[in-house]
Amino acid sequence: MIRVVHYINQFFGQIGGEEKAGTTPGIVEGAVGPGMLIDRLLVERGRVLATIICGDNYFSENPEHVAAEILPLIEAYTPDLFIAGPAFNAGRYGIACGEMCKCVKEKLGIPAVTGMFPENPAVGLYRRHVYIIETAHTAVGMAKAMPKIIDLGWKLLHHERPGTPREAGYLPRGIKETVAADTLASERAIALLLRKMRGESIETEIPFPELDLVAPAPPIADLKGATIALVTEGGLVPKENPDSIESARATRWGKYSVDELRELGCQRFSSIHRGFDTTYINEDCNRLLPVDVLSDMERRGLFKGIHPFFFVTTGVATTIDNARNIGKGIAAELSDAGVSGAIVAAT
């Protein structure tokens, strides 16, 4: 009977939503929420002995520290296998699952598996360290993902070969494994080239990593003469959301008056972002876009002026393509307006 410890966030742990994202870690006997599916799938082979529940904000604001805080709770159960999430496309939850798996694997030496949607930002951070089963975007994919998580965990636990990413369903780890092939590399390369020339489907043996590195823009030479623009992905829009910016999976951005923000603040604007608890920002918009402080500095002559419009979109579950297009749109406007520098406030 294998002993499993499971990690989940405040939402799957049935504590609450964003308003509970600051919940400190706690441990509960047995399975909670998706852990019950683990029990059902394991049947006689094992059981979830304990479930760690922790708020996404509490974890992701200080991942290594919180992981170290949680580790003894897991160790006390002497588990054979650790499962985190799956986190699907939730970024902060992904960070928590990735860091917990990494920590458990390295410090306790037991297999650890999680699951994420390929575009989860935590994938880039953790895929080399941790096995991440590929999942759907949302918990709709739970029933499909969990059996793969358990299967992979079982193999690792029994020191069996996990198989390739395609075979086992985990995201490529960027780790090259030497295997003996039936044909020479030269033969395979030519075959691949011929397929490509014939327009047939091809699969590279070594995918190039996607690194979007942007050279830093030159610094502002003279701050006193500079115009500074404010930009945010925090979804702060006029209350009627005139441009219908989406609360998640945004495809649009808007630009609104800094004067209105300064004068009317939260009477006029509120955040539609669905990825975090917007209470504090809706009490005081300066907590997202620091118009009060910037206006003081402008009056004192630290820089020439604040660009009259601020730019907004919503940064939760945004696809990479949409994020690029939105960014390019905003950048073009800033460029046309001759803005000297931008402050981008993210949640």
Partner 1 sequence: MLEKEIERVGIPAVLITALIPTAKMLHANRIVPGIAITNPLGDPKVSLAEEKTLREKIVVSALDLLTKEPGEAAD
What residues from 109 to 138 belong to the interface with partner 1 (CB under 8 A)?
Answer: 121-122, 124-125
**Nearer to partner 1 by C-beta: 92 or 148?**
92
Applying CB under 8 A, does 228 fall inside the site for partner 1? yes
Of 297, 293, 314, 313, nearest in space to 305 by CA? 297
For residue 193, with 0-12 CB atoms within 10 Å meaning exposed, 13-18 middle and 19 or more buried, which class applies? exposed
Of 109, 219, 299, 300, the one binding partner 1 (CB under 8 A) is 219
Q: Which of residues 41-60 bind partner 1 (CB under 8 A)?
A: 57, 60
**Nearer to partner 1 by C-beta: 21 or 31?**
21
d(CA 275, CA 110): 32
Binding segment toward partner 1, per CB under 8 A, in 65-73, 130-138, 150-158, 280-288: 280-288
Applying CB under 8 A, does 97 fall inside the site for partner 1? no
Number of residues that bind partner 1 (CB under 8 A): 72
Q: For 169-290, where are the alpha helices, taking DSSP H only? A: 185-197, 258-264, 279-283
Of 11, 93, 269, 276, the one binding partner 1 (CB under 8 A) is 276
CA quadruple 165, 168, 170, 176: dihedral positive or negative?
negative
Of 272, 277, 310, 314, the one binding partner 1 (CB under 8 A) is 277
Residue 109's SS3 state is coil
Residue 229 phi/psi, 5-degree rounding, is -110, 150
Of 21, 37, 245, 261, the one binding partner 1 (CB under 8 A) is 21
Binding segment toward partner 1, per CB under 8 A, in 147-155, 182-190, 194-202, 335-343: 335-343
Contact between 28 and 48 (Cβ < 8 Å):
no
Of 130, 289, 316, 317, the one binding partner 1 (CB under 8 A) is 289
Q: What angle do CA 32, 37, 39 make, to 5 degrees?
A: 85
**Nearer to partner 1 by C-beta: 251 or 286?**
286
Of 13, 34, 46, 91, the one binding partner 1 (CB under 8 A) is 91
d(CA 306, CA 229): 6
